[in-house]
Structure 1
Amino acid sequence: MQFGWYLGDPSNAFRDQVIWKRVNRGHWLVTKESVQAIENAQTAAAVNDADDDNASSDNEATLQHATLHAVLLISYDDCWLTPCGNRKGPTVVTKNFEDLKLTFQAGSPTAFDIFKRDFPIVINNVNWLMNEAAIGKAPTKDFMNPSNMLRFRHVLFEKLDHESVDAASELEDAYLLSEWPVIHIEAAKARDRLVSTHRVIPLPAYDIKGGAHLT
């Protein structure tokens, strides 16, 4: 792995390198190195009598997400990764197109023994992460089922703010919301209404030869 940590590493070395941090209304898994960098910046700012509001804004910007890797087998029966979620109109779960989330479940690989052997370690580390994320006595849930299948959810659309509008216009055409592939006309109409207010957050997928596909 060129960056991040492999969850199947029996040494569990990553545990000393990551930490959950509260950001706005959610929790991020970030690197301890970035947290230390923020603390150092705060110390320097205090010495220089820097403005507290500016320091807070910079702190959020410098937190670095922790990147974790695992080799898993995606379940054929629980894979909902079509670019438009096969949307035909509002549903009980997703009333608005911009709230669409792509989901899938994944478990132990079957083709490569080395990754099959690592899978129990992956599960152990995922359980550790979830326990670390738990707040008080509130248990974490919905990320793993009783069969040790991991559940994944990907938020597909992000609302634009004033600072990100220009940046979004510089993305490759394939990543532009106006070019995002849909199956049904209802989804196309909903997509077009979002062009000026949202951007797409693609979930890259690759075939066995390394060819990129957009999901």
Structure 2
Amino acid sequence: MTPNPPTSPSVGTAHERLLHSGSYLGDASICANFQWLHEGRGHMLVHVPEAASEVIPLSLPKDPAILSAIVRIDRDDFWLMADGGYHGPNKVCKDILDVKPSCALSDPGFEPVMSDFPIVLQTLEQFTQRCVTLGFSSGKSFFSIDHNGLSCFKLRHKLFEVHSHRPGTSHSLLAGEPFSFEHWPLTKERNHAELLALKNTYRILPPTDYISRLPLPAYNVTGDLIQPSAYRHSLQGAVAEIHFNLLHWGIGGAKHNVYGGRIVLICVLVPPTPQSTAGKKRGLPLHLDTDVTPSYKCARI
């Protein structure tokens, strides 16, 4: 079992900053300052300037609230690869356009943020209980249990977005750039043609517009944007400051209330600890005589 890393100065600094942000889920007192707002076929959680009363204010923000937490990105329930681990059409994803890379978030495992994680879960639970469709049961896609029986919650990333052809604005990428369709990493290269077929209609974008033309808004400990090919080894098992929107919708056929967290920003605070793997013992000769046929029985070092 990998030991928990010691408290990082950056974790303490981030924790102190988030405590004063008004959107940190480890602070239970923020609940009164958020309200659900109807959007399309579902709802989004929005921030209200003052504590919301029983009566919903007549004027609410039009943008979803951005919640924050410090968590560990789970190693096992990790699908935050560039293509979400897409192998091809299946029951969940009819095509690559349906792919939404996701990950589970768990207890960071050390103070000062470990004590906050139960409050993070309780705050999220309060939010979800305030927005339900009558007659619908609670879906299980947002909260989950890890392999140790501990509670987690899950977030996803919206990978594709329809082009917004605004005058004077270009979202095209050069074919040689690491974030282009041509260079986008895939779990199965056979899906490359399917990806390229979307190029003229869709663009690879984060869920918000403030980081134009870039995919997952995830940054390493030095503040550099993580490239798609490095998502797994940079994020899987990392402790990170994460920001996201909280959404709700109902599935009519199954009569389920579904809640989803949409990633806005990930800042790695403690990089993943490399996992030790027991390699096979290999025998090497202590001296190689080029005039003699090599023997398979070699001295071990």
The normalised TM-score by structure 2 is 0.54
1:150 maps to what in 2? 153
1:47 maps to what in 2? none
Q: Deviations over 1:82-130 (max 9, x none)?
A: 10223342223212111111121111111x3111010111011010011
1:206 maps to what in 2? 219
Give the direction of change, closer, same or farther, for the CA distance of 1:158–1:195 in structure 2 (3 Å limit).
same
Q: Given that residues 178 and 195 in structure 1 are in contact (C-alpha distance below 8 angstroms), is that contact kept between their aligned partners in structure 2?
A: no
What CA RMSD, in Å, does the superposition of the two structures yield over aligned residues? 3.1
SS in 1 for 2:138: coil
SS in 2 for 1:79: strand
2:261 maps to what in 1? none
Between the aligned partners of 1:63 and 1:20, the Cα distance in structure 2 is 11
Q: Deviations over 1:143-164 (max 9, x none)?
A: 1125311122222112335x45
Say yes or no: does 1:189 pair with 2:202: no
Between the aligned partners of 2:43 and 2:170, the Cα distance in structure 1 is 25
1:126 maps to what in 2? 124
Say yes or no: does 1:74 pair with 2:73: yes
Q: Given that residues 204 and 214 in structure 1 are in contact (C-alpha distance below 8 angstroms), is that contact kept between their aligned partners in structure 2?
A: no
Say yes or no: does 1:116 pair with 2:114: yes
**Count of residue correspondences:** 189
SS in 2 for 1:113: coil
Q: Deviations over 1:157-199 (max 9, x none)?
A: 12335x4596452679655545533343323211211111112
Spell out the pairing of 1:31-180 with structure 2 (5 A cutoff).
31-33=47-49, 39=58, 63-110=62-109, 112-141=110-139, 142-146=141-145, 147-160=150-163, 163=165, 167=169, 169=171, 175-177=179-181, 179-180=183-184
Q: Which amino acid aligns with 2:96?
A: F
Between the aligned partners of 2:136 and 2:170, the Cα distance in structure 1 is 38
Larger radius of gyration: 2
1:5 maps to what in 2? 23
Q: Which amino acid aligns with 2:219?
A: Y
Between the aligned partners of 1:123 and 1:200, the Cα distance in structure 2 is 31
Which shifted more, 76-85 or 133-142?
Answer: 133-142
Give the direction of change, closer, same or farther, for the CA distance of 1:102–1:131 in structure 2 (3 Å limit).
same
Between the aligned partners of 1:64 and 1:77, the Cα distance in structure 2 is 32
Give the direction of change, closer, same or farther, for the CA distance of 1:113–1:181 in structure 2 (3 Å limit).
same
1:23 maps to what in 2? 39
Between the aligned partners of 1:83 and 1:14, the Cα distance in structure 2 is 33
Between the aligned partners of 1:165 and 1:150, the Cα distance in structure 2 is 40
Which shifted more, 145-154 or 178-187?
Answer: 178-187
Same amino acid, percent of matched pairs: 27
Q: Given that residues 7 and 125 in structure 1 are in contact (C-alpha distance below 8 angstroms), is that contact kept between their aligned partners in structure 2?
A: yes
Q: Which amino acid aligns with 2:160?
A: F
Between the aligned partners of 1:4 and 1:152, the Cα distance in structure 2 is 21
Q: Which amino acid aligns with 1:78?
A: D
Q: Given that residues 4 and 69 in structure 1 are in contact (C-alpha distance below 8 angstroms), is that contact kept between their aligned partners in structure 2?
A: no
The normalised TM-score by structure 1 is 0.74
Once the two structures are TM-superposed, the CA of residue 17 in structure 1 deviates from its matched residue by 2.0
Between the aligned partners of 2:95 and 2:186, the Cα distance in structure 1 is 15
Higher helix share: 1
Q: Which amino acid aligns with 2:101?
A: L
Q: Which amino acid aligns with 1:119?
A: F
Once the two structures are TM-superposed, the CA of residue 64 in structure 1 deviates from its matched residue by 1.9
Q: Deviations over 1:27-65 (max 9, x none)?
A: 1111224x9xx946xxxxxxxxxxxxxxxxxx9xx6021
Q: Given that residues 102 and 156 in structure 1 are in contact (C-alpha distance below 8 angstroms), is that contact kept between their aligned partners in structure 2?
A: yes
